[in-house]
Chain A
Amino acid sequence: MIYDMLFYIFSILTIYTSLMVVFANHPVKSALFLIFTFVNVAGLWMLAQSEFLSLALIFVYVGAVMTLLLFVVMMLNVPRSEKHDVKKSIYTSLNLVIGLIVVYILYSAAIIISQPIHIESIESPTKAIGMVLYTDYALAFLITSIILLIGMIAAVSLCFEGRRPDSKSQIISEQLKANKASRLKFAPKKRNSK
């Protein structure tokens, strides 16, 4: 009973917030609603008894990705979207009709497969995921880590404009190239006027 109530609360909030992500008039608002959507879907996954993934969703998305997204939205100073004109509202209603048709088709497909979720009691779901992840999928795990590294390098090198000429940082290669001849400078000898 409580399970059903929690499921309906989370699902209604998920649908509402994801609609607000799309139709909010300011990008900061839609980013904040996207955070709320992620939290609600994490609750749904928790109800489906995949605790590890739901916590990972909150850590990865709400902690890292959405902070980045909010930072960029605020840095770019995106203007508010203009008022809905007639052409745009026609497109929107057409999209809604097509979307409802797709929802109906998927709904009938979901009714066909409708079965209750049977959950066998595992002693620790995280341990079970780890057993699969580090044995059968160890290579894929390593490749994912390399992709993350490559993505980090790509993002940094895209936004890096080179060292500014007036920055006070030290240039290590120049320091290592210095030798005695380039460092010592002989002052011209002063003649004693005697």
Chain B
Amino acid sequence: MIGIEHFVIIACIVFVIGVIGIAVNKHNLISLLMSIELILLACNTNFVAFSKLHNNLVGEVFVFFVLGIAAIETAIGLAIMVLIFRQHQTIDSNKFSELKG
């Protein structure tokens, strides 16, 4: 019998894969964006599972909002990435040193 815990376990595995992806691919900005998408997807899966557990639709409505905001975040991130590529001819985050970080 598939219960709530299976969905939560899948969500946490995907979440951890996303966090590992941020740590592993930290030199590539596009891979960072994709890892953030994975993390948001895991959080949304948790929202869906728990809204089914409590039989409450508010969680699904929240997933709706998170989807919209994540789409906008990706679009603006890609626009910034195109600007960075025009300036530096690369998107390797080790090559940027304007902020002296």
Contact = CB atoms under 8 A, between A and B. Distances in A.
Interface of A: 3-4, 7, 11, 14-15, 18-19, 21-23, 27, 30-31, 34, 37-38, 41, 44-45, 47-50, 52-53, 56-57, 60-61, 64-65, 68-69, 72-73, 75-76, 78, 81, 88, 91-92, 95-96, 99-100, 102-103, 106-107, 109-111, 113-120, 128-129, 132-133, 136-137, 140, 144, 147-148, 151-152, 154-155, 158-159
Given A37-B41, A95-B23, A109-B8, 8 more contacts: A22-B24, A27-B30, A38-B41, A48-B52, A61-B67, A69-B74, A110-B4, A155-B78
B39 to A, nearest CB: 10
A91 B79 contact: no
Interface of B: 1-10, 12-14, 16-21, 23-25, 27-28, 30-31, 33-35, 37-38, 41, 44-45, 48-49, 51-53, 55, 57-58, 60-61, 63-65, 67-76, 78-83, 85, 91
B3 A116 contact: yes
Given A41-B41, A73-B30, A116-B1, A99 B19 contact: yes
Contacts of B3: 114-117
Contacts of A21: 17, 21, 34-35, 38
Nearest to A76: B85
Given A22-B25, A30-B31, A110-B9, A72 B14 contact: no
A154 B48 contact: no
Contacts of A53: 44, 48, 60, 63-64, 67
A120 to B, nearest CB: 6
B88 to A, nearest CB: 11
A118 B69 CA distance: 30
A49 B52 contact: yes
Given A37-B38, A69-B78, A147-B72, A158 B83 contact: yes
